[in-house]
Amino acid sequence: MEVFNQHIRCFNNEIELYIKREDVIHPYISGNKFRKLKYNLLQAQKEQHKKILSFGGAYSNHIAALAYAGQEYNFETIGIIRGEEVAYNHHKNPTLQFATKCGMHLHFVAREVYSSKTETSFIASLQALYGDFYLVPEGGTNAFAIKGCQEILTPNDIEFNYICCAVGTGGTLTGISNSTNSNQKIIGFPALKGDFLNKEIAGLTTSSNWELCLDYHFGGYGKVTPELIAFINNFNSKYKVPLDPIYTGKMAYGVIDLIEKGYFPPKSKILMIHTGGLQGIEGMNKLLKSKNLNTIDTYA
């Protein structure tokens, strides 16, 4: 399905809000995961690798997308999953069930071991165990991923003054920043607490037309509140756009809140990037149900 910019709302101060529907690229490899994997898969093919190994948490969008991509393009995939305790109930986890169904081999490691995922010695131990493989970092962010994310914006998007996106590892924002016009500003909404991403993104891009808004993480990565769930359901009901609770839902909440607080100048044209991640809704709903809380509507 073709990506399109969907008009969301015109506000009283003539601010126009749109959302780029990157989530419709592919039913399983959608949004920024499609962009990040595109050139990595081509590079893996060029180097004649048969296996691709990467890292992720129990509900990782990246792990799900990579598993399907491996099935689609004839790669053996290996997922290094954070948390040994996840292994005991992984058959009840929708994301990991999907990855396994797609043929991915799951390797569960303790969280303290997982934290060494970029260290040479740990990578060497994985090579000794699995043989030769093409390595994709956690979240998919590397130079090839950034190249793919530079293709999110098109020449038609030059009309927007502000580009807003959710931030996980920083690759998507970096790619967008590299492809924007000098009169455009990019605002990133991190899903994680803390401002450490400022330094990491600054190391990935030479552009300075971006900033991070740290006020809409709702408690940190993987955390949600009843207020956020209500917002996501209301947004879907009004605009027929499903949002995920980890990334895009928080970004959309933040953008609209900033508009209503007068952050953006009158007559601004704002484009939000829908980075996909909808596969994670099923897992989040299982968690919410276990706590007798309202769940996320899945219709669109």
Give per-residue pLDDT as tens, 129-159: 999 999 999 988 899 999 999 999 999 999 9
Per residue in 175-214, pLDDT tens? 999 999 888 999 999 998 878 888 888 888 878 899 999 9
Best CA proximity match to 233, nearest among 212, 253, 257, 263: 253
- Provide the pLDDT for residue 300: 64
Checking if the pLDDT of 279 tops 70, the result is yes
Cα 9 to Cα 15, 106, 235, 239, 272, distances in angstroms: 8, 43, 11, 9, 12
HSE-up of residue 277 (Cα within 13 Å, Cβ side)? 23
- Provide the pLDDT for residue 199: 85
3-state secondary structure of 180: coil
Cα separation, 241 vs 237, whole angstroms: 8
Work out the average pLDDT over 79-101.
91
Percentage of the chain modeled with pLDDT above 70? 99
User: Is the separation of the CB atoms in 62 and 56 below 8 Å?
Assistant: yes
Residue with tokens 């009169």: 183
Distance of CA 113 to the CA centre of its chain: 24
- Provide the pLDDT for residue 9: 95
Strand pairing category for 185-190 and 210-212:
parallel
Laid out side by side, the sheet with 105-109 consists of 105-109, 76-82, 51-56, 134-135
> What is the CB neighbour count within 10 angstroms for residue 182?
8
Residue 189 belongs to what H/E stretch? strand 185-190
User: Is the separation of the CB atoms in 54 and 80 below 8 Å?
Assistant: yes
- Provide the pLDDT for residue 1: 64
pLDDT-derived band at 89, boundaries 50, 70, 90: confident
Checking if the pLDDT of 121 tops 80, the result is yes
Cα separation, 282 vs 155, whole angstroms: 35
